Amino acid sequence: MIALIQRVRKAEVTVTDPLQRITGSINQGLLILLGVHETDTEAEADWLSKKCVGLRIFPDGNDKMNLSLPDSGGDVLVVSQFTLYGNADKGNRPSFIESARPEKAEPLYELFCASVSDLLGKPVQRGEFGAMMDVELTNWGPVTLHIERRAKLS
């Protein structure tokens, strides 16, 4: 599972098809683009949600990245993005065969969102799974992190 994490001053996601509508909007916090790998399990969703919430990437009183999301009072917007497992090693058209199929990815996306919400004690804003979306953000810093947790296969 991949989380592409952006510390933002604000972020918003709009579903564009068939009618435009805003499905999630936050002020200061994290925009998390979430990709689910075909081998991912609940264990990866659980680990990654804890890692995202605990990251100390918000400024303290001395302007040092020392505060976590709960410490800063920030919010979270999570957007599913299967293209994070796109592979463009061969040719110019990416392959997405490592991305989990929707029937597997959606429950893990929902589990990740629920876990983040539980850890924060407040709702998580979301995109719409499987929809065509526009994401607007103001990256703060900029701070962007890529964190991946792969299933341990026996």
Residue in 6, 14, 58, 82 annotated catalytic: 82
- Angle between helix axes 42-54 and 102-120 (nearest 10 degrees) is 40
Number of structural domains in the chain: 1
> Which residues constitute the domain of residue 95?
2-148
CA separation for the pair 154, 146 (Å, rounded): 25
Residue in 83, 96, 129, 144 annotated catalytic: 83
Structure confidence at residue 31 as a pLDDT band (50, 70, 90): very high
Structure confidence at residue 151 as a pLDDT band (50, 70, 90): confident
Query: What's the CATH number where 129 sits?
Result: 3.50.80.10
30, part of any domain = yes
C-alpha to C-alpha distances, 67 to 32, 43, 83, nearest whole angstrom: 17, 25, 30
**Residue 96: CA atoms inside 13 Å, Cβ hemisphere, count?**
10
82 belongs to the catalytic site: yes
pLDDT digits (tens, 9 = 90+) for 119-149: 999 999 999 999 999 999 999 999 999 999 9
153, part of any domain = no
62, part of any domain = yes
Closest by alpha carbon to 115, among 33, 68, 49?
49
112 belongs to the catalytic site: no
Residue in 58, 81, 112, 125 annotated catalytic: 81
Prediction pTM value: 0.95
Q: Kindly state the DSSP code that residue 61 receives in the 8-state scheme.
A: T
96, part of any domain = yes
42, part of any domain = yes
CA separation for the pair 94, 86 (Å, rounded): 6
125 belongs to the catalytic site: no
Q: Which helix (H) or strand (E) holds 47?
A: helix 42-54
54, part of any domain = yes
Structure confidence at residue 26 as a pLDDT band (50, 70, 90): very high
pLDDT digits (tens, 9 = 90+) for 81-114: 999 999 999 999 999 999 999 999 999 999 999 9
154, part of any domain = no
